[in-house]
Every structure is written in structure tokens, then in C-alpha cells.
Amino acid sequence: MDARTSADHPLAEALRLLPRAPHGRAAVTRHALPLIVPACHRLSEDGRTVLLRIAGDALESGRLIDGTVVAYETNSRDAGEDLRPWGVQLIGTAHALVPSPAERATFAPLPAGRHYLRLTPTLATVRR
């Protein structure tokens, strides 16, 4: 096993690291083709799902990917307190989300977006 990859509890480790980076990239499908779009994220209140805001007009509608498999990736911009850079990839089912005004206010300001998703991750990879 690669010593730089967390394999013991990758989903728990990924969800622990996720709040340290405000932005990432979501991999979705559009007309059966892969599409990578900028996104910002935050953990749900229970810490088990990830709320995503997809940038701009990347999608005609968040409903187009409701119930589909989505991958989300983010990484550290600097090593921070761990002294090692890291990257996280989550894969799971996404559902369209209509956040409350209070939930909307908790997202990072950029990238701006109007499509919100709730990602329920089932697979995770952490790289250090």
C-alpha cells in the first residue's frame, strides 16, 4: 500500500479534511459526457453528507443529475498544520437540494453558483 494514501478509514478521514478547503471540483455527466465543474462545499450538520454549490451555468438544472453518481475532489492549497499537502476524492449519489437562506450563507462566496446538491459519499480516497 502507498504510505501516502489513507486506507484504514478513508471516508472518515476525507470528511475530517474536507472543511479545510473551501473549493473543489465536481465530476458530473451532461448529455452522457463527463463534465468537471468548479464547486464549493460544506459538510451537512450531521457530518455525513456534503452540500455542494455548482458554479455558474455549468448545468442547465441541478435536477439533471438528481440521483446520479457524482465525484467530488478537493485538496489543500498549503500543508497547514499537518505539514503535508493532501487531496480528497468522494464518490456517491447526489440529489438536488433547495437550501434555506441560512444554509446558503454558509457557503464560500466563490465560485458563485445556483445549483445545490447533497452528496452522500460511499467511496473515498485520501492522498497525502
For residue 74, give the nearest of 5, 12, 33, 124 by alpha carbon: 124
CATH number of the domain enclosing 27: 2.30.110.10
**Which structural domain, as residue segments, surrounds residue 106?**
5-127
pLDDT in tens, 57-111: 666 655 678 899 999 999 997 656 666 889 999 999 999 999 888 888 888 887 7
Beta bridge partners of 74: 88
**Three-class secondary structure of residue 107 per DSSP:** coil
Question: How many domains is the chain built from?
Answer: 1
CB 115 within 8 A of CB 53: yes
Per-residue pLDDT, 60: 62
For residue 70, give the nearest of 54, 86, 46 by alpha carbon: 54
Q: How far apart are the first and last CA of the chain?
A: 13
User: What is the pTM for the complete model shown?
Assistant: 0.85
CA 53, chain centre distance (Å): 9
Work out the number of other CB atoms within 10 angstroms of the CB of residue 102: 7
Note if the bond before 111 is cis, omega within 30 degrees: yes
Q: What percent of the chain has pLDDT over 90?
A: 49
